[in-house]
């Protein structure tokens, strides 16, 4: 099973899905399930092979020498298996959603095309192939996003993605000029540590920031994720955004950090060296965390809220990867896994709600838990992981990242990291309280019902994995250690059940079991006591007022109003900047139009004079 | 297997000890505060009476999430308390008393309570939850920065080892070694415990007692137990991190009592902040002080 075969399968089944979809919308979407499950399983087999060590290079086939080559590396496989898994899980949602969209057949086709793109980006050792598939994903996304609510979001996405792609392309050209080959590993190794390396690092970092939606290239992310079709949102946040993380790994880990050593900061006992580039990226990552958190707190649309949370989690990944070292790398890579699973599950849960209610605005929803308890539990597990609370996967990665930050003695970045971590309790709780809990609003009471089995299945699998990554992380960390070894670092010290960090040992299984024991005790106390009488939700303490409408008893709009008031004047900084930039571009365009594409006589005369002057240059 | 069972039983013992200790000390403190306010005050075991009375009463429930949240809150807090070292050498799970476990497991308890309160359908409860979470955002960051300094200085995040570090001759308690950070930690602890002036989320006479508005009977009783154990965890954290841990259990109880009583006395003479004032307060001086302390201690190495 070679990579090119899998890519061909993805492309062919995409075309098949289109034609089947023309005949029957739902059947076309079913093709996406079959194809993406097949590809995920095949990638799983590849992982077995690579672990056995037998066929490590088995598909370094060169069609045109140095032009189209594929290669399976631990790093590529790590990303590929994660993202194809997210694609496979989300694809179960497609049959239930395609009918809502204008071009259902196109939707199914593009879904599989982006999957093909993902395989191409991660499983190659050739920069041109990487760039081609990178663009292929952007192109598919460009048509997928407007199938949702509106197409303005797609323009924003396209603008930022293209800027990122161009940055990537220039970086590739610089490396090509140095080595004369498009080989990824050779190129990165050659420029590493040279002056060109600085440019390459800056350009690759730009591409990574654009893809991850990190500050200051964050404008497209909430727009695109807020407006895109619900399954696509989950794919973007859980999968395609991780392309940015992949490029970040290339830039921050495979290239040597550049700039002066910013100091021997950080310790009485040992000196920790960080380079200027690491500081800059870590600082921008920290700003991403703070900005994403503050913006997520004030959103009313649940999808936008989760989009900003994706942005803030992208910040964690950047901070971790830029700090490097054993803890930073494993923390960053593990955070990629934990966030991919958690955000996919959360977006799917919100998608399931939006399917029955037709809205994701929290102010229009309430009390969904009474009709959709399973979806609620999925969302709960996802947000516990997102907030970095044990016993879920998010805790392990945050614990590693905290240690990396503390070990480097980066106080100001630590402020951002801690702020984002506590702030995430605030924003993830909002959909929980406003959308699932609270009063059951009459307008959704009759329509709402639990999602069908095939939608619950992927959500439950994701939830199971979220818990599993938190209870038994060593299985995953083992693989991450292989990735780190391939990148030239040292892996974490793992015991049977323990993880050893710089300043402490963690035993996630123990935490989970103690957690279970505690809940068991509480449950026994609860059961042994007298049974309580069930009363309705409207039968509450109202300080003597008589209230009969559910809306008046549901607190969901402007949940954190007192907190938002403190910073609401400053929220439009990046938006204003891009607005100004847009105006400048428009002005420039007007100027060009005025001078080159006009039929005004004075301009024509002006050009004629210039031309005559040019022709007579030196004659006069 | 027997080992693990024994450890878990020890852990449950620690949690139960914490509950009894804190509930008794809270009772004594009601008397102390009463004397400050020139009242006589209730008996020292009044808190126990309150809890057992509540547990024995019949109550109402607003659906399964209302009960589930309570069970989750209490259960997780019991689990957290099981990790707590009592002295610097006695704890249920040796070597796993990681600081981050406490901070984050307490948050699960908070989440459970918040979930249950929102599930009651009462907007007053949701307002209380909003204020509780906002307060948490305020006090947690300065506190974590001070703890970062301690972890960086000691090279460990284990509570008992941090305690032992301070007991080594030549090292003073971190409350003294890091005086600015110590002040920040005291303020943060007051925020954690919901003492005035940071008791905005309970705010008696303003929002009908905050998140707890809908509770009665066994649910309220269980949340009382949860509250007592949470206070035990938070004050113990302070004792281990800043007051040199404890060589033996008597010293632990003495230090615990002193910290809790002093906080209560400070609290009893203050008014109450508005919620945005809480946030502004913590992000102004305590945060600046915490960062200053961290810079001084980590980069300049000035530790008393």
Contact A367, A439 (CB under 8 A): yes
Buried b (16+ CB within 10 A) or exposed e, B222-256: bbbbbbbbbbbbbbbbbbbbbbbbbeeeebbbebb
Task: Kindly determine whether residue B67 and residue A429, on different chains, have CB atoms separated by under 8 Å.
Answer: no
Touching B: A residues 546-575, CB under 8 Å: 553-555, 559-560, 562-563, 565-566
Other CB atoms within 10 A of residue B42 CB: 14
Nearest to B55 among A520, A521, A529 (CB): A529
| Phi and psi angles of residue B121, each rounded to the nearest 5 degrees, phi first | 80, 5
pLDDT at A315 over 60: yes
CA–centroid distance for A149 within its chain: 20
**Mean pLDDT, residues A338-355:** 91
Task: Kindly determine whether residue A415 and residue B287, on different chains, have CB atoms separated by under 8 Å.
Answer: yes
Predicted confidence (pLDDT) per residue in B111-135, tens digit: 888 889 888 888 888 888 888 889 9
Name the stretches of chain B with pLDDT < 50: none
pLDDT at B209: 66
Provide the shortest C-alpha distance from residue B190 to chain A (in Å): 18
Residue of B nearest to A441 (CA): B121
Distance between CA atoms of residues B27 and B31, nearest Å: 7
| Phi and psi angles of residue A567, each rounded to the nearest 5 degrees, phi first | -130, 10
The interface predicted TM-score (ipTM) is 0.93
pLDDT at B75: 93
**Mean pLDDT, residues A466-483:** 88
pLDDT band per the 50, 70, 90 thresholds, residue A65: low
pLDDT at B19: 94
Q: Tell me which of A297, A411, A412 to substitute to probe the interface with B (most B C-beta atoms closer than 10 Å).
A: A411
Predicted confidence (pLDDT) per residue in A429-462, tens digit: 888 888 888 888 888 777 778 888 888 999 999 9
Task: Kindly determine whether residue A521 and residue B78, on different chains, have CB atoms separated by under 8 Å.
Answer: yes
Q: In the structure encoding, which two tokens stand for residue B295, read together?
A: 């810079």
Distance between CA atoms of residues A121 and A207, nearest Å: 14
For chain A, what percent of residues have pLDDT higher than 70? 93
Predicted confidence (pLDDT) per residue in B157-203, tens digit: 888 888 888 888 778 888 888 899 999 999 999 999 888 888 888 77
Q: In the structure encoding, which two tokens stand for residue A303, read together?
A: 């999808």
Which range, A424-433, A531-540, B195-204, has the best average confidence (pLDDT)?
A424-433
Percent helix, strand, coil in chain B (nearest 5)?
A: 75, 0, 25
**Mean pLDDT, residues A260-273:** 46
Touching B: A residues 453-512, CB under 8 Å: 502-507, 510-511
Provide the shortest C-alpha distance from residue B38 to chain A (in Å): 31
Flag whether residue A414 sits within 8 Å of chain B, measured between CB atoms.
yes
pLDDT at A271: 40
Nearest to A418 among B59, B71, B144 (CB): B144
Predicted confidence (pLDDT) per residue in A27-60, tens digit: 888 888 999 999 999 888 887 776 655 444 444 4
Lowest mean pLDDT among A145-154, A349-358, A529-538, B31-40: A145-154
Lowest mean pLDDT among A108-122, A219-233, A490-504, B134-148: A490-504
CA dihedral A383, A388, A391, A397 (to 10 degrees): 130
> Nearest-CA neighbor of A331 among A254, A412, A397?
A397
pLDDT at A51: 61
Q: Which three-class secondary structure state does DSSP give residue A361? A: strand
CA–centroid distance for A398 within its chain: 16
Task: Give, in order, the Cα–Cα distances in Å from A77 to each of A83, A90, A211, A446.
Answer: 10, 20, 19, 46
pLDDT at A270: 39
pLDDT band per the 50, 70, 90 thresholds, residue A273: low
pLDDT at B263: 92
**Mean pLDDT, residues A223-247:** 87
pLDDT at A202 over 60: yes
pLDDT at A222 over 90: no
pLDDT at A84: 92
Lowest mean pLDDT among A253-262, A367-376, A487-496: A253-262
pLDDT at B262: 92
Query: What mean pLDDT, rounded, does chain A reach?
Result: 84
Task: Kindly determine whether residue A418 and residue B214, on different chains, have CB atoms separated by under 8 Å.
Answer: no
Q: How far apart are the first and last CA of chain B?
A: 46
User: Domain boundaries in chain B?
Assistant: 2-300
Flag whether residue A409 sits within 8 Å of chain B, measured between CB atoms.
yes
Which contiguous run of DSSP H or E holds residue B60? strand B60-61
């Amino acid at each position: 099973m070679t990579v090119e075969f899998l890519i061909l399968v993805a492309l062919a089944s995409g075309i098949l899905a289109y034609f089947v979809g023309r005949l029957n919308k739902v059947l076309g979407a079913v093709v996406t399930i079959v194809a993406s499950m097949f590809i995920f399983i095949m990638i799983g087999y590849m992982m077995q092979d690579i672990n056995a060590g037998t066929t490590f290079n088995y598909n370094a086939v060169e069609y045109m020498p140095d032009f189209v080559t594929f290669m399976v590396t631990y790093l590529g496989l790590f990303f590929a298996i994660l993202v194809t898994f997210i694609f496979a899980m989300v694809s179960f949602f497609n049959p239930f959603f395609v009918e809502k969209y204008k071009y259902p057949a196109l939707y199914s086709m593009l879904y599989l095309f982006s999957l093909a793109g993902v395989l191409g980006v991660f499983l190659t050792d050739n920069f041109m192939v990487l760039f081609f598939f990178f663009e292929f994903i952007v192109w598919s996304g460009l048509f997928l996003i407007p199938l949702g609510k509106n197409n303005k979001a797609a323009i924003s996405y396209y603008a930022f993605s293209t800027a990122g792609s161009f940055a990537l392309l220039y970086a590739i050209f610089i490396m090509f000029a140095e080595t004369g080959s498009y080989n990824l590993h050779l190129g990165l190794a050659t420029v590493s540590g040279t002056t060109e390396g600085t440019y390459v690092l800056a350009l690759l970092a730009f591409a990574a920031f654009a893809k991850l939606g990190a500050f200051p290239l964050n404008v497209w992310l909430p727009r695109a994720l807020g407006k895109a079709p619900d399954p696509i949102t989950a794919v973007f946040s859980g999968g395609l955004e991780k392309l940015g993380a992949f490029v970040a790994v290339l830039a921050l880990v495979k290239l040597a950090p550049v700039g002066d050593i910013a100091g021997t900061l950080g310790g009485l006992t040992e000196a920790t060296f960080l380079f200027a580039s690491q500081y800059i990226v870590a600082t921008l990552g920290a700003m991403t965390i703070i900005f994403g958190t503050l913006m997520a707190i004030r959103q009313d649309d649940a999808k936008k809220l989760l989009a900003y949370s994706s942005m803030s989690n992208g910040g964690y990944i950047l901070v971790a990867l830029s700090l490097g070292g054993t803890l930073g790398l494993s923390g960053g890579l593990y955070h990629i896994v934990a966030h991919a699973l958690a955000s996919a599950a959360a977006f799917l849960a919100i998608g399931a709600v939006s399917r029955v209610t037709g809205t994701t605005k929290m102010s229009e929803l309430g009390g969904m838990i009474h009709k959709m308890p399973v979806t609620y539990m999925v969302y709960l597990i996802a947000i516990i992981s997102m907030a970095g609370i044990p016993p879920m996967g998010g805790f392990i990665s945050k614990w590693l990242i905290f240690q990396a930050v503390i070990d480097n003695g980066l106080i100001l970045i630590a402020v951002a990291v801690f702020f984002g971590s506590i702030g995430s309790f605030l924003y993830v709780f909002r959909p929980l309280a406003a959308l699932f809990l609270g009063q059951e609003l009459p307008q959704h009471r009759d329509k709402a019902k639990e999602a069908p089995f095939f939608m619950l299945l992927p959500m439950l699998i994701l939830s199971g994995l979220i818990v599993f990554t938190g209870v038994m992380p060593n299985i995953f960390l083992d693989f991450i250690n292989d990735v780190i070894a391939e990148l030239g670092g040292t892996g974490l010290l793992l015991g049977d059940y323990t993880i050893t960090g710089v300043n402490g040992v963690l035993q996630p299984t123990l935490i989970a079991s103690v957690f279970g024991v505690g809940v068991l005790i509480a449950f026994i106390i609860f059961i042994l006591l007298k049974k309580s009488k069930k009363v309705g939700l409207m039968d509450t303490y109202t300080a003597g007022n008589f209230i009969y409408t559910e809306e008046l008893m549901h607190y969901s709009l402007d949940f954190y109003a007192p907190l938002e008031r403190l910073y609401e004047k400053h929220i439009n900084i990046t938006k204003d900047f891009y607005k100004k930039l847009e105006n400048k571009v428009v002005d420039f365009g007007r100027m060009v139009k005025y001078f080159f594409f006009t039929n005004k006589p004075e301009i024509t005369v002006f050009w004629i004079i210039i031309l005559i002057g040019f022709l007579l240059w030196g004659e006069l | 297997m027997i080992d693990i069972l024994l450890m878990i039983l020890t852990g449950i013992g620690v949690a139960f000890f914490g509950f009894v200790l804190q509930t008794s000390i809270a009772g004594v403190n009601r008397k102390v505060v009463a004397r400050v306010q020139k009242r006589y005050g209730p008996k020292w075991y009044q808190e126990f009476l309150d809890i057992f009375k509540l547990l024995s009463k019949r109550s109402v429930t607003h659906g399964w999430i209302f009960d589930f949240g309570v069970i989750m809150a209490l259960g997780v807090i019991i689990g957290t308390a099981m990790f707590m070292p009592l002295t610097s050498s006695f704890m249920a799970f040796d070597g796993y008393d990681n600081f981050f476990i406490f901070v984050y497991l307490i948050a699960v308890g908070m989440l459970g309570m918040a979930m249950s309160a929102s599930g009651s359908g009462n907007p007053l409860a949701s307002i209380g939850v909003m204020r509780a979470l906002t307060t948490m955002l305020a006090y947690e960051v300065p506190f974590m920065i001070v703890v970062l300094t301690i972890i960086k200085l000691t090279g460990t995040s284990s509570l008992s080892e941090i305690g032992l570090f301070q007991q080594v001759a030549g090292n003073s308690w971190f409350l003294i070694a890091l005086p600015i950070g110590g002040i920040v930690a005291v303020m943060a602890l007051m925020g954690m415990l919901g003492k005035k002036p940071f008791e905005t989320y309970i705010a008696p006479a303003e929002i009908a007692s905050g998140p707890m508005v809908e509770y009665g009977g066994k649910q309220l009783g269980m949340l009382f137990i949860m509250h007592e154990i949470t206070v035990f965890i938070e004050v113990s954290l302070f004792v281990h991190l800043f007051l040199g841990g404890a060589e033996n259990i008597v010293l632990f109880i003495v230090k615990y009592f002193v910290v809790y009583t002093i906080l209560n006395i400070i609290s009893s003479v203050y008014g109450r902040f508005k919620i945005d004032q809480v946030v502004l307060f913590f992000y102004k001086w305590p945060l600046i002080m915490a960062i200053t302390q961290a810079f001084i201690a980590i980069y300049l190495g000035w530790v008393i």
